[in-house]
Amino acid sequence: MFYTLAWSVCSVLLRLFFGFRSRGRSNVPRTGGCVLAVNHQSNFDPVLVGCGLTRPAYFMGKTSLFRGFLGVLLRRLNAFPIERGGADRKAVKEFIRRLRAGYPVMLFPEGTRTYDGRLGRIMPGVGGIAVRAEVPIVPAYIDGAFDAWPRHRKLPRKGTLSITFGRLIPFERREGETKRELQTRLRSELQDRLEELEAKAFASRRVCRRMAGKSEAVPAGLAK
């Protein structure tokens, strides 16, 4: 009940003030657990993922946030704590437990917010979580959040926000494939899918700017 109310309020505010759009929701399974692997641009991100879906999502937050009233609020919004700077086995077990229970759980596989707005390298372990829980991975790309609320700003500014859910990466173990090989393949496929979504997001932005009579330089690595 509380999550639904918060989702409704935040969705309205995001659309009114930031023109928020969600694309590709049909790529997210309607039932069952899945890893929502999302690029990390800003403090907006967990809210954008939640509001971009029609089913409740779960997410991790650093332990320091789970204190007092904020901690109570986060737990009611389906969050659970994780210790930063090391392997938190308890949090990983909780992550896998929720996946096996049939929930979509979001993960920021870069490990931290971007410093320049670009997608970083995927950290090891993402494929391992999907393999242990035996669930698919849904890549998702947030666009515009870095411009609106980069990590060096205390408060957000006006911007246009969107999230695109890409094609699902199924949990399928090929014949003769070891568990380690499967983990590596899933991680590589996720990196490729997120890079594709980033390239499409930039291309779309470039078209919009061109239509508005503006120009934008192409970041290194996106020029084709």
Per-residue pLDDT tens over the stretch 70-105: 999 999 999 999 886 666 788 999 999 999 999 999
**Paired sense of beta strands 162-165 and 79-82, if any:** unpaired
Q: How confident is the model at residue 219 (pLDDT cuts 50, 70, 90)?
A: low
Q: How confident is the model at residue 1 (pLDDT cuts 50, 70, 90)?
A: confident
Instruction: Tell me the average pLDDT across 18-25.
Output: 97
What are the extents of the domains in the chain?
2-190
Distances (CA, A) of 168 to 47, 68, 75: 21, 37, 28
Per-residue pLDDT reduced to its tens digit, 26-79: 999 999 999 999 999 999 999 999 999 999 999 998 898 899 999 999 999 999
Name the CATH superfamily for 2-190.
Glycerol-3-phosphate (1)-acyltransferase (3.40.1130.10)
Q: What is the total residue count of the chain?
A: 224
